[in-house]
């Protein structure tokens, strides 16, 4: 079946417009996230890293209601640059890198479950989320652990035995921070694996 050349060029034109609009939206979101005012939680996490740097122990030397995994993660930044606003700015850049990683991982998970078209539509919709600017690029432990969780979820959704141990390890690591969100993690994990397995089964049957 031949494809109408006119429709082919129109599809390419619309695709280019979509890509350009999404790219401009991404630049706007990243700029807003980078230059957004510092939240008190961000400075609080910096303070926790400072206390750990000075040899104090969480839970005994000072009150901490979560694990210090995130603060160990950002501590090298402050060890190199010192505890100043320049180091905090670099830490926020690292959070933006994690944000881009989450966008990519989420895109791959949605593509695995719902297909390529929905996955591409998902990206600008996620960028339009107002909480993207408010918290998704701030210096928060959630942004590291959700990235780890999404990576584990993607590996688990691929249903390859050699990846199951790595996926389990990543999901367990993410849940060290999110014990209070365990039910939501369990629901999203099982739902994603079920949907991915169902779609893969359809593709395998179609290939036979």
Q: How far apart are CA 52 and CA 48, in angstroms?
A: 6
| pLDDT tens for each residue of 19-43 | 999 999 999 999 988 888 888 889 9
Q: Is the pLDDT of residue 160 over 60?
A: no
**What's the rounded mean pLDDT across residues 75-92?**
92
pTM: 0.77
| Of residues 63, 58, 100, the one with CA closest to residue 75 | 58
Range with top average pLDDT, 29-38, 96-105, 147-156: 96-105
Q: How far apart are CA 182 and CA 207, in angstroms?
A: 38
Residue predicted with more confidence, 59 or 20:
20
Per-residue pLDDT band for 72 (boundaries 50, 70, 90) equals very high
**What's the rounded mean pLDDT across residues 43-62?**
89
| Of residues 89, 196, 109, the one with CA closest to residue 151 | 109
Q: 94 CB contacts (<8 Å, ≥6 apart)?
A: 74, 77
Q: Which two tokens stand for residue 93?
A: 């850049």
For residue 116, the tally of other CB atoms under 10 A from its CB is 10
Q: How far apart are CA 66 and CA 69, in angstroms?
A: 9
Q: How far apart are CA 96 and CA 113, in angstroms?
A: 26
Sign of CA dihedral 176, 179, 181, 183: positive
| Of residues 188, 148, 187, the one with CA closest to residue 168 | 148
Three-state DSSP class for residue 184: helix
Rg (CA), the chain: 21
Q: Is the pLDDT of residue 121 over 50?
A: yes
**What's the rounded mean pLDDT across residues 135-148?**
88
| Of residues 117, 123, 177, the one with CA closest to residue 147 | 177
Alpha helices in 36-180 (DSSP H): 40-53, 69-81, 85-114, 116-127, 131, 141-157, 161-175
Per-residue pLDDT band for 161 (boundaries 50, 70, 90) equals very low
Backbone phi and psi for residue 128, each to the nearest 5 degrees, phi listed first: -80, -5
Three-state DSSP class for residue 58: strand
Q: How far apart are CA 86 and CA 10, in angstroms?
A: 47
């Amino acid at each position: 079946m031949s494809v109408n050349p006119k429709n082919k060029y129109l599809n390419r034109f619309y695709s280019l417009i979509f890509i350009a609009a999404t790219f401009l939206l991404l630049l706007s979101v990243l700029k807003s996230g980078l230059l957004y005012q510092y939240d008190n939680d961000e400075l609080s996490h910096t303070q926790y890293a400072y206390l750990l740097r000075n040899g104090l122990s969480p839970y005994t030397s000072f009150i901490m209601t979560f694990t210090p995994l995130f603060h160990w993660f950002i501590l090298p930044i402050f060890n190199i640059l010192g505890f100043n606003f320049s180091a905090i700015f670099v830490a926020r850049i690292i959070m933006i890198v994690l944000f881009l990683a989450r966008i990519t991982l989420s895109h791959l998970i949605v593509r695995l479950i719902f297909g390529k078209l929905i996955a591409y539509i998902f990206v600008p919709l996620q960028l339009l989320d107002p909480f993207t600017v408010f918290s998704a690029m701030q210096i928060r432990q959630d942004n590291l652990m959700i990235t780890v969780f999404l990576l584990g979820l993607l590996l688990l959704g691929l249903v390859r035995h050699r990846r199951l141990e790595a996926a389990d390890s990543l999901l367990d690591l993410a849940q060290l921070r999110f014990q209070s969100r365990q039910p939501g993690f369990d629901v999203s994990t099982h739902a994603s694996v079920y949907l991915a397995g169902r779609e893969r089964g359809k593709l395998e049957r179609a290939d036979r």
